Structure 1
């Protein structure tokens, strides 16, 4: 089993109300990054993952203030964490649309964007595939053991670069590529270019279907099934008894989805100001605005009409208010129970080909991973499902690729 840690914050999964006023500073304070990364390394995790927003988030013309609106630049944070960890892999979002391969290849080997404007959705994976190909051309142009680079040249639809790469090959050859995206194009891109897929398929049946679909695509690219690790992002809530864990999980969800966050979630689907609605009342009977620019700095739902109808159906079926609907529809507590039960369920996912491992997203910053490492990791080790020591020094070693 492979385990990784995700630093929470740029979403509504963080519980803000625990820890008092100082808890707010924990969301971007460097000590928080250090604590979570060192906890993950103590738990022998493969890597620490940091998502990145490309701009400050805005809602209804104001800087968003219901969760983290931004954070320090990801590669800068990981560079600093490299100084305070030894073997833990370090991973971050890097946007292929707004970066250049040569610049990124240099940054990973050792106003933010040269080009402006967005790409059509259909073109993003085309550029991403070419982006990875160019970066790999650069990294591979200095063969292992040689004292100088070989000239490189690449000409394609999006990039035209040539020359010599000035940095020698790193100990793991190439950085590990992690892909997130569930469309058919995303799955095909993962099969062709990624080492890890970060997925949201959290149930056993959905996980097995996704696992089988992506793994079967690898043969077309001359790859073996184990060369791509499928790692869903998951949450967890532990308790000394099953009942205690369920009680804690309910409380966590209510803390995550406050009345204000419930209306925010609804506005991001409908694209209109819903501040006049009661969070404890029924869902709006108006249609979403597909052209809305109410929210900036985050991805808009691809089909707001379909999502709104699913939420309405859920509300009608169970008699739920706005807040209750959002809690039900967006719940992400993947593993809830005693440490023994959680270890067994996680193990089952891996043994039954629903995942190769998990990227854990704790709901507290920075101590949310502590209990898992102390209480669940030893049980996974007793089962023989998780390492008892690091056997290599690079992330590729940890992943076995």
Structure 2
């Protein structure tokens, strides 16, 4: 199926080259996969002679899309999100701009000459197993110019950061990017009975890709409103620096203090529970960190003894009204992130348990909420503030087959 995706990418590259605009507006996600995606595309586009205006988003909320797509005659690229909302993007764009979507989440096809949805999920590939957004962007960059093959290590770092492995190893195009990076000398792979460990080779020595992923996630998530995403892309393209290390240390302190407070509260008060779901609502207690951090917190929580290993895990966080790089907006909405305890993961992969992407988007739609980036093991949507309990109830109806 990759051949068909490559053909779509080649057509998009030709449209990109023929477009009269000299610059590209690039919007990318703020986790390690999104930051490496942003770095790969920035380098590839600049090599091709484009100027790049880069804005990091936690989610492409409809309010933001209206502003982003309002101008005319632009080249706009979305990376590591927007695959599911391509029809909405086409509607809001109304043919004004050339739009490219390089995502790897569940996607919806669109028939629009100005919108290219280059999400591998539409071409028979699994975005939660074999191809990350960073690898998708890397494939696109290589079609632009084979000189961009030197960006393979960033594709591998993003793939490892997203954490989707089979038997402890990267697979499919993710693994192909890693093997290419090894051949270039920028990556090393250690094999064990548990799978593989991946190391990013730097002038100061090898760094475990898990550690680099956490480093980038900290910049992009905990540091979202404090210049962290921009520094994250700089680290990808220019290497580590004392300034970046200092920022990461400060953001880690903020994160650990906030997570410790919430863990203590759960110990004291427990979580809300229904038949299939356990959930928390932190309001804006994690500010000034980005809303991605509710998902990061759930990642830490899901493997501990404070959760029921047989129930889905959900967390709500209020969406702030200021988006760095775009300005002030009125949301009055909350983000819900969901994760799966380790004991349930194999059942979801085997198809004996429902994946998050099979019920969270549907429940969200029933409440007129917003869904975009959802996988089977990790997912997030938004609903109006005050409707948290209603969303849980709608998910329970779906999971209990009460409809």
Same fold (TM over 0.5): no
Q: Which has the higher strand share?
A: 2
Identify which of structures 1 and 2 has the higher relative contact order when contacts are C-alpha pairs closer than 8 Å and 6+ apart: 1
Indicate the structure with greater helix content.
Answer: 2
Give the TM-score taking structure 1 as reference length: 0.27
